[in-house]
Amino acid sequence: MNNHQKDAQPQSTKHNSPPLEDRCVQVLAPATVANLVCGFDVLGMCLHEPNDLMEIRLLEEKKIIIISADGYPLPLDPAQNTAGAPLVEMLNELPGNTGFEVTIHKKIKPGSGIGSSAASAAGAVVGANHLLGDFFSKQDLVRFAMFGEKVASGVKHADNIAPCIYGGITLIRSIYPLDIVPISSPKLFVTIVHPQIEVRTSDARQILRKEVLLKDAIRQWGNIAGLVAGFMQNDLDLIGRSLEDVIIEPVRSILIPGFDEVKLKCKEAGALGGGISGSGPSIFMLSKDEPTAIKVESVMKEIYNRIGLAYHTYVTTINQTGVTIINN
């Protein structure tokens, strides 16, 4: 039985510790793109690059230790750490005196809009669960990891967490109860530009309108349905037409210098479409092939070089695996 089908609760409450040689694991926790333009809080996509590197060690004491390997100023109080808070919830459902030490090599910059907090949360629970012999299901891991997102933004959402754990593109049909639907997709290339400014998810949520016009909601629903159908039917034209947001993007884009020009000129260069990655400031664009994705990257670089704003770019693909165990 695979993790998608595994019961939410184990058949036995007895937990056997793994052998001593298996008490530490390294994981690669990937970046993600949330919302996918029109799917605010319900759609997400996993990327091959960049990744956080994390080491999780099993302890014989009911505690959690957080270590920042590269000196990045991460909160060391587990309850205030995006990797620690999910593990606190996990320990509450584990019998015995089990704990974890988590060492984080932070490569996905917080506030970048490509799922930094989700990578920490998902990497911690996937690595911990591996050490426990896959004690919990994937859906349980998403449920735990959402507590890391609550630390980061004040809201438990799964549009970064779910693709980070499941891989690929995911639809979060519901949070209560949690209902995650993996979405098939064609092979697409993803170009990301991360202007070197920080947009905090909590701040980006504060500026959103609390009410929307019915006509805007109807248009948005059509785009979400069209995007999901486009992915599942390998219809690139439909994907491109559906990458439109009439509710969130018009508000959040004012926080990102050069956004409108980047989006316009990248589409002129051949991109299918794209928009704000998560809450920003990163911008993502989807392309049908690698030469187009590289051309899109050149357009992004030219615009930010001219603006005079430092940036990082990535040309990558959709990661169908999610968090990866790289050693035992």
Q: Residues 201, 249, 292, 297: which is the catalytic one?
A: 201
How is residue 167 written in tokens? Answer: 């891989």
Q: Where are the domains of the chain?
A: 20-183+319-327, 189-317
Report the mean per-residue pLDDT for the chain: 90
In the prediction, which pLDDT does 1 show? 36
Work out the average pLDDT over 216-242. 97
Task: Indicate whether 240 pLDDT > 60.
Answer: yes
Q: Residues 55, 149, 249, 297: which is the catalytic one?
A: 149
Active site includes 149?
yes
In the prediction, which pLDDT does 155 show? 85
Work out the average pLDDT over 37-59. 96
pLDDT digits (tens, 9 = 90+) for 117-157: 999 999 999 999 999 999 999 999 999 999 999 998 888 99
In the prediction, which pLDDT does 198 show? 74
Work out the average pLDDT over 56-64. 94
In the prediction, which pLDDT does 11 show? 32
Whether the model clears a pTM of 0.95, i.e. scores above it, the answer is no
Span 189-317: which CATH code?
3.30.70.890
Percent of the chain with pLDDT strictly greater than 90:
79
Report the distance separating Cα 122 and Cα 119, nearest Å.
Answer: 5
Q: 151 with 83: CB under 8 angstroms? A: no
Report the distance separating Cα 243 and Cα 175, nearest Å.
Answer: 23
Are domains 20-183+319-327 and 189-317 of this chain identical in fold?
A: no
Q: Looking at the structure, give the CATH architecture of the domain made up of residues 20-183+319-327.
A: 2-Layer Sandwich (3.30)
pLDDT digits (tens, 9 = 90+) for 277-320: 998 999 999 999 999 999 999 999 999 999 999 999 999 999 99
* Residue 14 pLDDT level (bands cut at 50, 70, 90): very low
In the prediction, which pLDDT does 201 show? 63
